[in-house]
Structure 1
Amino acid sequence: MHLSFKIAGIISLMTFTGAVLAADAVTALGKDFTFPNKIEGLPLKLSDFNGLQINNFTTNDDVKLSYWEAGSGEPLIFVPGWSANGAEYFNVMYLLSKKYHVYVLDPRNQGLSQNVEYGNRLSRYGMDLNEFIDHIGAKSVNLCGWSMGASVIWSYIDLFGTKNISKLAFIDEPISIYTHSDWSEKERQEAGGMTTSPERMVGAFTQGIPVNNQIVDTAAMERYMAMDSLYFQNSEALAHEFIKNDPHFLSLVLFDHATNDWRDVIRSKINVPTAIFTGDYSHNVPSQKWMHAAIPGSELFIYTKEEQGDHFLAFKNPLRFTQDLTRFLNKP
């Protein structure tokens, strides 16, 4: 579950000027943007990323979904976590677009995509991903899901299998967010259970309602609030400038998301090369180790605290992450 949504009263909501079809990013967003930190090897301005586009397509249930796109070559699709969006992938896209045709799909009710009251369940999000792959005309794709984005990919695989997937990568997603009352502690850790009350979790993440860590584990939010990476500061500043998330629409998928248990999909339906990323700051390490053991031939990357090994590792340490992901994708 992506926890970077700015809880009411803590961080202000983002603003968005409106996306258009098949436009360069500056045109789509209505203006240029200068990043707060100058980092060697990465753009100082939005306009410095030549070829970055923001496009959209319409699903079969009439929802306009936006996506960020750059580069050429083998398709690599990123599926963001809950409340996340393509702006947060700016550095990751810039680094990987030198070798891949990189896409980031903003899920319904997130980022630049349309807000709707319907279709807010993981099965529909999996269908959205399937329609997006059809939309770009790709016969084979690499998929990388972060946080809830991993669950979207598990839903896609449950519905459509892996016939169109070359390789997979997952970043720090619990396999079952809901902790069942009859589980042993070992089962809870292996599944990644982080809440005993989905309703309280929804309230905590969308309204800032206080909870204790036995009801909802909020450790990832603490790591977000640290803002201890210049890379992360830059990508979050871009998202702050251009994206508006509505807490009502964000809340609609959370209960369904929290109550899915994907262990059967991971045990029996993932049969392509898979990379798993987590870190020492994350409480998800035991569940990621379980997934590594359940998927034959998978690779597990555990970043240290010094390597920004938390829920946001891809954005806090994009150089290391994109190098590791590229090496994995390049393997025959």
Structure 2
Amino acid sequence: MNSLLSLLPGKSPAEAAHGSPASKQQDSSVTCSDGCKLVWQKYGRPGGPAVVLIHGWSGSRHYWDLTAPYLASHGCCVYTYDQRFHGDSDKPAWGFHVARLAADLRELLVQLELIDVTVVGASMGCAVIWSYIELFGEDRLKQACFVDQAPLQNVAADWKWGSTGCYDLASLTRLQCKLQSDFAGFAKDNGAFCTSIPLAPEVTRVLEQETLRADPNALAQLMADHTAIDWRPLLPRIAIPCLNVVGRKSAVFPWYGVEVVGKLIPNCHTVFFENANHWLYLEEPDKFNKLLSDFATAGFLHTSKVLHL
């Protein structure tokens, strides 16, 4: 898999990291308590603020190829990894729960001896962080960034602001059938659905290829767990500083559903990307990378609780 950076004119991973040969290390792995191997990668040098980037459902660590080198070039020590069932990590016949993914994150942090970590979750990656906090508290975490995820995807008696594509049993069944009967078609459609600002065709192809490396049967079962979990009761109990990033033109969630995350977490700032969709970190990487770098290295710097970019 080539880095997404290599597909952009005039940029290579080394150039993006200011030419530092130590910017990016070779793939490594950790083995979880149930024997599942997770593949991870490190950018930057030890000593800077630790940042762990968590991809979303059906993605991979390479979805962060435009972000990790930038953060490393600005002093952070950055880790990306493939969650189980995705990318280069193992795809076992069990563990189709967000809680298992949260336990994997815990084992990664412990085995890599990471503390005071800024965790960044995109889409389902947010739910992995919320589950981590529910199960393990805020141990080893310094702060968190959530990228375009509503606190509940399904429709409920008091909630209509979740996912536009998977929100009840019927829509879940349609998605599961698509994954199992036309996975290539799903991968292609998913990219168009998640972007409003067009990506370069070469980048789109790489993202599709990364999706196709996931296990479609596992994705189908994992979504059944993910879409039904209501995180609203947990969010007010989160004490660490948080950043909630919203794609105003997201086709996956109505923006006002994602905005609720920032309203429920006490110490949270919300930033709207006014022109971007669900994959805002790929659509407007310069804006996103600068925002995240500032958050990881210096916190909020007394900014307004709600920002518009």
TM range, smaller chain:
0.7 to 0.9
Separation (CA, whole Å) in 1 of partners of 2:14 and 2:205 = 14
Q: Which runs of 5+ in 1 are unaligned?
A: 1-28, 211-218
Q: Cα distance, 1:141 vs. partner?
A: 0.8
Residue of 34, 39, 42 corresponding to 1:66:
39
Residue of 66, 69, 85 corresponding to 1:109:
85
Per the alignment, residue 236 of structure 2 pairs with 267
Q: Cα distance, 1:236 vs. partner?
A: 5.2
Separation (CA, whole Å) in 1 of partners of 2:41 and 2:212 = 13
Are 1:246 and 2:222 matched, yes or no? no
Q: Which runs of 5+ in 2 are unaligned?
A: 182-188, 302-309
Q: SS where residue 188 of structure 1 aligns? A: coil
Per the alignment, residue 294 of structure 1 pairs with 264
Separation (CA, whole Å) in 2 of partners of 1:292 and 1:33 = 32
Separation (CA, whole Å) in 1 of partners of 2:41 and 2:127 = 20
The answer as to whether partners of 1:108 and 1:114 remain within 8 angstroms in 2 is yes
Per the alignment, residue 120 of structure 2 pairs with 144
Separation (CA, whole Å) in 2 of partners of 1:224 and 1:131 = 30
Report matched runs for 1:179-190 at 5 Å: 179-180=155-156, 182-183=157-158, 187-189=159-161
Separation (CA, whole Å) in 2 of partners of 1:148 and 1:109 = 13
The answer as to whether partners of 1:76 and 1:144 remain within 8 angstroms in 2 is yes
1:295-320 superposed Cα distances (whole Å, 9 cap, x missing partner): 12311110111xxx110001121111
Report matched runs for 1:46-195 at 5 Å: 50=21, 51-72=24-45, 73-98=48-73, 99-180=75-156, 182-183=157-158, 187-189=159-161, 195=166
Query: What code does the residue aligned with 1:68 have?
Result: Q
Q: 1:287 to 1:192 in 2, by over 3 A?
A: farther
Q: Cα distance, 1:120 vs. partner?
A: 1.1
Separation (CA, whole Å) in 1 of partners of 2:56 and 2:210 = 19
Separation (CA, whole Å) in 1 of partners of 2:59 and 2:31 = 20
Separation (CA, whole Å) in 1 of partners of 2:82 and 2:271 = 26
Query: What code does the residue aligned with 1:55 have?
Result: S
Q: SS where residue 178 of structure 1 aligns? A: coil
TM-score (norm 2): 0.81
Are 1:223 and 2:198 matched, yes or no? no
Separation (CA, whole Å) in 1 of partners of 2:205 and 2:283 = 10
Separation (CA, whole Å) in 1 of partners of 2:116 and 2:4 = 36
Q: 1:33 to 1:60 in 2, by over 3 A?
A: closer
Query: What code does the residue aligned with 2:56 have?
Result: G
Report matched runs for 1:228-239 at 5 Å: 228-230=198-200, 233-234=202-203, 237=206
Per the alignment, residue 291 of structure 2 pairs with 324
Per the alignment, residue 256 of structure 1 pairs with 225
Q: Cα distance, 1:38 vs. partner?
A: 3.5
Separation (CA, whole Å) in 1 of partners of 2:195 and 2:274 = 19
Are 1:197 and 2:164 matched, yes or no? no
Q: Cα distance, 1:155 vs. partner?
A: 0.4
Report matched runs for 1:276-291 at 5 Å: 276-282=244-250, 283-291=253-261
Query: What code does the residue aligned with 2:97 have?
Result: R
Identity among equivalent positions (%) equals 22
Q: 1:162 to 1:39 in 2, by over 3 A?
A: same
Q: Cα distance, 1:163 vs. partner?
A: 2.9
The answer as to whether partners of 2:179 and 2:220 remain within 8 angstroms in 1 is no
1:273-305 superposed Cα distances (whole Å, 9 cap, x missing partner): 100111221233112222212112311110111
The CA RMSD measured in Å over matched residues stands at 3.1
Q: Cα distance, 1:200 vs. partner?
A: 3.2
